Amino acid sequence: MGKGSGYGKTILFGEHFVVYGLPAIASALGSTTTAEVKRADINGYELIDNRPETAGYKEQKKEEYEKLIENVIKFMEVKEGIRITLGGNLVAASGVGASAACAAALARAINNEFRLDWNDDKINEAAFEGEKGPHGTPSGIDNTAAVFGGLLLFKKNLGGNQNTIKKMKLRKPVEIVLGNSGKTSSTKEVVGDVRRLEEEQPKKINAVFEEYGALVEEAKKALKDYDLKKVGTLMNKNHELLQKITVSSSELDEMVETARNAGALGAKLTGTGRGGLMIALTPGKNLQEKVAEAIEAQGYTVFRSKIGGS
């Protein structure tokens, strides 16, 4: 039996802007999706999906995951029938890079079962192919975080050449809270809406892109200097820019506001938006707990995690 895993991720800066070639910063989460692949006397594949989920996620994403799995199988030229079992402690939800973690885990498990001896770069290519199922035109940030882990800066090469991937280091990992809106969103749809907005109002949207371009440079420096107060302030500003490109939602805004009022250094939506998750920067166990409880008191579920771990 072949085994593999892929990290969940949270985007600290730059979801959506990354699609347009601007740098983004993502951190892998401690939680992973695991895959087991066994050769079987069947046509194609069979899927047993044991991942924990936000209610309705798997049903809503069924077709997208079919495409994801077919894409990975095709790219890796698997000719035999396989039985795939997904598991792990990453909750399948919008905003944590669940599909990318699944694509990375599957690619690794196939690599293991068929002794292909692919390195991480090739695994990342396979995971990217998988991501085209749910995303259509993914930037590549989610699968890169799912495969390589850690904290990274990602910049898509719009000309189709190699993307820039730089490992970043935090002096020490920082506690975060992820608030779950409980709503599943479609990355393909939301990315498409931003594209339309950019076509309809190029001046306004390009001004937002420019503002983000300056912000992410400051964010790189603040993370390097471990200036968490500044990182938080920049996350707040990033959220405002995401609101301007219409990808937030009332639930996300409410959780962001609650987290800030409870003392988070900064908070923003993370990932696709319009549903899915928000992230709050909450250094220290006490602050993390305070913010988590404040969001829970509003009726949302939260995940307590850390960024900047290896």
Q: Which residues are known to be catalytic?
A: 142
- The phi and psi torsions of 28 (rounded to 5 degrees) equal -70, 150
Does position 252 bind ligand MEV by CB under 6 A? no
Angle (deg, nearest 10), helices 98-113 and 62-75: 30
Q: Kindly tell me which residue out of 142, 175, 198, 251 binds ligand MEV, with binding defined by CB under 6 A.
A: 142
What is the C-alpha to C-alpha distance for residues 134 and 188, in angstroms, rounded to an integer? 7
CB 124 within 8 A of CB 147: yes
Does position 71 bind ligand MEV by CB under 6 A? no
Nearest to 100 by CA among 272, 257, 293: 272
- Shortest distance, position 139 Cβ to ligand MEV, whole Å: 3
CB 135 within 8 A of CB 191: yes
Q: Kindly tell me which residue out of 106, 145, 191, 223 binds ligand MEV, with binding defined by CB under 6 A.
A: 191
Does position 130 bind ligand MEV by CB under 6 A? no
Q: Which stretch binds ligand MEV (CB under 6 A): 42-50, 121-129, 132-140, 288-296?
A: 132-140
Q: Kindly tell me which residue out of 272, 282, 288, 305 binds ligand MEV, with binding defined by CB under 6 A.
A: 272
Nearer to ligand MEV, 5 or 272 (CB): 272
Residues 6+ apart with CB under 8 A from 106: 4, 35, 37, 69, 72, 84, 86, 130
How many C-beta atoms lie closer than 10 Å to residue 209's C-beta?
A: 17
Q: Kindly tell me which residue out of 18, 82, 104, 146 binds ligand MEV, with binding defined by CB under 6 A.
A: 18
Does position 277 bind ligand MEV by CB under 6 A? no
Residues in contact with ligand MEV, shown as a per-residue x/- string from 24 to 63 under the rule CB under 6 A: ----------------------------------------
3-state secondary structure of 54: coil
126 by Cβ neighbours in 10 Å (0-12 / 13-18 / 19+) ranks as buried
Does position 264 bind ligand MEV by CB under 6 A? no
Residues 6+ apart with CB under 8 A from 35: 3, 4, 5, 6, 84, 85, 86, 87, 102, 105, 106, 108, 109
Nearer to ligand MEV, 88 or 271 (CB): 271
Nearer to ligand MEV, 12 or 267 (CB): 12
Sites of contact with ligand MEV (CB under 6 A) = 11, 15-16, 18-19, 97, 135, 138-139, 141-142, 187, 191, 271-272
